Amino acid sequence: MINTIIETEKLQHELLTHQIELEMQNEELRIVNLTLQVERNRYSSLYDFAPIGYLTINQVGRIIKSNFAAAELLEMNNKQLLNKHFITFLAPENSDVWHVFFTSAMKHHERRSIVLKLKRSNSAEIYIHVDCQHNTSIDNDSTLLVSLTDVSERTQNEIRLQQLVNQEHAWRIEQSQFITILAHELKNLLAAIQLALSLISESDEIVYIVNKVIQDITNLVQRCLQSEKLNDQQVEVYIENHNLFSKFEKVKKNVSSSERLVINVDSLLTFNTDGQLIYTILLNLIDNALKYSPSNSLVIVNVEIEIETEKSQFLVISVQNEIGMAGAPDQAKVFHKYYRNKSAHHEIGSGLGLYIIKAMTDLLGGEIIYLHDDNYVCFTLRFPYSNRLIKKD
């Protein structure tokens, strides 16, 4: 009997201990549950009141969850958004784009983004940046987590900028066409004047002066055309083997006062280059030297091959002349488009000659260096050199 009582008391003690343990565990669970509820409410508040729109979209493209920012962007409250197809909020021209994007996003787990245009009741153009992340729940349900950011101002600025670029491009084409037509007509008129001059008998001096003016105007027109082609990147480079001596001979025939030229070049020297570009460079550079140097002075042209190593050789062409009434060009501005020395306006010019020389030299992979002292100016052209014949297919 005594043993039974002892056993009963022991069992009661164990049950009481177990009950206390259960109560403690229950209290811990209650605290954890309360903490989780607080955190859930906190997360819900952060989600609902976030400045960025958030959506959860199911496998068929319906909205199953949204926050206030998303509802405002889509012009509905959260309850109205439930089970709505997201595609119905997009501008018609974006429907197919979204369908392709959504299908791809649901098949992959990496983050994806796209800019879409919304359909608004007030016809306003609203652009949103859509960031998406495919998500698979514990229950194996696939959803798309979506963030929406209003980028209307940025996108509209980009559209306006592109429109301005397109307008500028169209204007450039019109300007180029106009200059080409104008240059063609002007050259025809100059040719007619030269023909008329050949038929009249005036003093050699008058004819010389008029012909010089005509040549200056023709050169001016030609430089304008060359500048337009360079601006529009319409200059193509054709590399062939050319004799430099013949290029200089051609230059001498097309410049005034060629008797003032002293050209030191090997008559057999050849160079792989674009024939028209190198001729234009030499013509402009020598014409410039003759025009802005004293009329009783010489223009010295030296051509040589500079050998650094067996595989590194350069063609070096220097053009040196005395400084004339216009003075020496500004070192910092000499190759700028339309630059002319303030003292050079007694001569017809466009300020394009040296700009064209520099641009064409760059196209041929060379460089041009300008140096001067109190008495002389010197322009030096330097090109990677090869005289091996190029085989054509």
Nearest alpha carbon to residue 57 among 135, 159, 117: 135
- The tens digit of pLDDT for each residue in 134-163 reads 998 777 789 999 999 998 888 888 888 888
Instruction: Give the residue with greater pLDDT, 120 vs 291.
Output: 291
Residue 87 has pLDDT above 80, yes or no: yes
- What does the pLDDT average to over 344-348? 57
Residue 227 has pLDDT above 70, yes or no: no
The answer as to CATH 3.40.50.2300 being correct for domain 238-393 is no
Place of tokens 């008029």: 210
Residue 389 has pLDDT above 70, yes or no: no
pLDDT band at 204 (very low <50, low <70, confident <90, very high): low
Instruction: Give the residue with greater pLDDT, 299 vs 227.
Output: 299
- The tens digit of pLDDT for each residue in 273-283 reads 988 889 889 99
Return mean pLDDT, the chain. 82
Residue 391 has pLDDT above 50, yes or no: no
Pick the CATH number of 51-150 from 3.30.310.40, 3.40.50.10140, 3.30.450.20, 3.10.20.740: 3.30.450.20
pLDDT band at 219 (very low <50, low <70, confident <90, very high): low
Residue 326 has pLDDT above 90, yes or no: no
pLDDT band at 184 (very low <50, low <70, confident <90, very high): low
pLDDT in the model for residue 210: 66
> CB–CB of 243/269 below 8 Å?
yes
> CB–CB of 270/390 below 8 Å?
no
- What does the pLDDT average to over 333-360? 75
Nearest alpha carbon to residue 263 among 239, 246, 241: 246
Residue 221 has pLDDT above 60, yes or no: yes
Distance of CA 392 to the CA centre of its chain: 34
- The tens digit of pLDDT for each residue in 295-324 reads 899 999 999 999 887 778 999 999 999 998
Write the secondary structure of the chain as one string of H (helix), E (strand) and C (coil): CHHHHHHHHHHHHHHHHHHHHHHHHHHHHHHHHHHHHHHHHHHHHHHHCCCCEEEEECCCCEEEEECHHHHHHCCCCHHHHCCCEHHHHECHHHHHHHHHHHHHHCCCCCCEEEEEEECCCCCCCEEEEEEEEEEECCCCCEEEEEEEEECHHHHHHHHHHHHHHHHHHHHHHHHHHHHHHHHHHHHHHHHHHHHHHHHCCCCHHHHHHHHHHHHHHHHHHHHHHHHHHHHCCCCCCCCEEEEHHHHHHHHHHCCCCHHHEEEECCCCCEEEECHHHHHHHHHHHHHHHHHHCCCCCCEEEEEEEEEEECCEEEEEEEEEEECCCCCCCCCCCCCCCCCCCHHHCCCCCCCCHHHHHHHHHHHCCCEEEEEECCCEEEEEEEEECCCCCCCCC
Residue 393 has pLDDT above 50, yes or no: no
- The tens digit of pLDDT for each residue in 16-26 reads 888 888 878 88
